[in-house]
């Protein structure tokens, strides 16, 4: 399994309150054809907090089936309960996911030792590669570089999705752990900097609507052609920003609806974007060459 490049943080399409299973599998097929290097179902962008347990399991299974081993599936299986995280991760392994993306437990704010024990317990309970998801803005806890270096010594912990926007962390991790630990950007707007520091790819929101451009961007970065990457970054930057004017994934689902890829429907407590945000998304998509 090779986790690198442009990995899409897949939306979960809804229609009339239900998961639109056909649309979801059509999206997977589109991503494979457009050059996306990996798929993350049931992450934050997939509205995992509002999926029932049955829906969560079903979405992962559908994505695994549609991908059919053509690209890796890194299933979102995190929870603020270690026991629940183990259950979700075991199911992902059972249905054939290639790895699990596991967010730092949110709301209960564990200590660094608590974070270590959470991931250690998971890695011992499930035989599936685990990518740590460090997103302090949503989880209210920040895993330190030192804790991550401890975890990297465990055979099941293979990398991190870093949504801190702290570029120096990449180099600090490389000093402590080396190049083998996969470092993925969790933010499209800072992915260029992370890659220049030695990152391996990005778990991208923008790739939901611009998969080909995001794949081209990552290929340029991985080839060391940062001049080409900068040109793509400049073209996509307004879109990166517009997709977070309101809480994600409402803006990206609206953007996808403009090109006929899914309905703009989200689940409460999220709501569809307002008129001002719609205007910003349209303008940004035009600048990116995605709309006339």
Active site residues: 133, 161
**Other CB atoms closer than 10 Å to residue 281's CB: what's the count?**
26
Query: Helix, strand or coil for residue 156?
Result: coil
Report the distance separating Cα 199 and Cα 182, nearest Å: 7
Phi-psi region of 149 (alpha: psi -120 to 50; beta: other; left: phi over 0): alpha
Contact yes or no for 188/217 (Cβ under 8 A): no
Report the distance separating Cα 129 and Cα 182, nearest Å: 11
DSSP letter, residue 265: -
Report the distance separating Cα 17 and Cα 40, nearest Å: 22
Report the distance separating Cα 245 and Cα 121, nearest Å: 37
15-22 contacts: CB < 8 A, separation 24 or more?
15/263, 15/265, 16/265, 17/265, 17/267, 19/51, 19/55, 19/58, 19/59, 20/262, 20/263, 21/58, 21/62
* Cα–Cα distances in angstroms (integers) from residue 250 to residues 110, 159, 206, 244, 283, in the given order: 29, 28, 12, 9, 16
Residue (of 94, 30, 20) closest to 61 by Cα position: 94
Q: Which two tokens stand for residue 201?
A: 């790819």
């Amino acid at each position: 399994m090779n986790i690198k490049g442009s990995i899409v943080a897949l939306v979960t399409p809804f229609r009339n309150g239900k998961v639109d299973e056909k649309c979801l599998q059509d999206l997977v097929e589109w991503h494979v054809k457009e050059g996306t290097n990996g798929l993350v179902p049931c992450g934050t962008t997939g509205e995992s907090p509002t999926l029932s347990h049955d829906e969560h399991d079903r979405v992962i299974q559908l994505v695994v089936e549609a991908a059919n081993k053509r690209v890796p599936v890194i299933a979102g299986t995190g929870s603020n309960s270690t026991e629940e995280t183990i259950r979700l991760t075991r199911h992902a392994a059972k249905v054939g996911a290639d790895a699990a993306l596991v967010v730092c437990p949110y709301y209960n704010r564990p200590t660094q030792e608590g974070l270590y024990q959470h991931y250690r317990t998971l890695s011992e309970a499930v035989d599936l590669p685990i990518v740590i998801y460090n997103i302090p803005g949503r989880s209210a806890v920040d895993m330190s570089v030192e804790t991550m270096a401890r975890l990297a010594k465990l055979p099941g912990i293979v990398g991190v999705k870093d949504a801190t926007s702290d570029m120096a962390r990449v180099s600090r991790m490389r000093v402590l752990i080396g190049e083998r630990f996969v470092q993925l950007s969790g933010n499209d707007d800072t992915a260029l900097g992370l890659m220049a520091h030695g990152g391996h790819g990005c778990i991208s929101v923008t790739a939901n609507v611009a998969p080909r451009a995001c794949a081209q961007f990552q290929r340029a970065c991985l080839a060391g052609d940062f001049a080409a990457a900068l040109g793509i970054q400049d073209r996509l930057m307004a879109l990166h920003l517009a997709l977070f004017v309101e809480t994600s994934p409402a803006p990206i689902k609206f953007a996808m609806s403009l090109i006929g890829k899914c309905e703009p429907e989200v689940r409460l407590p999220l709501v569809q974007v307002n008129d001002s945000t719609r205007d910003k998304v349209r303008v940004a998509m035009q600048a990116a060459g995605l709309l006339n």
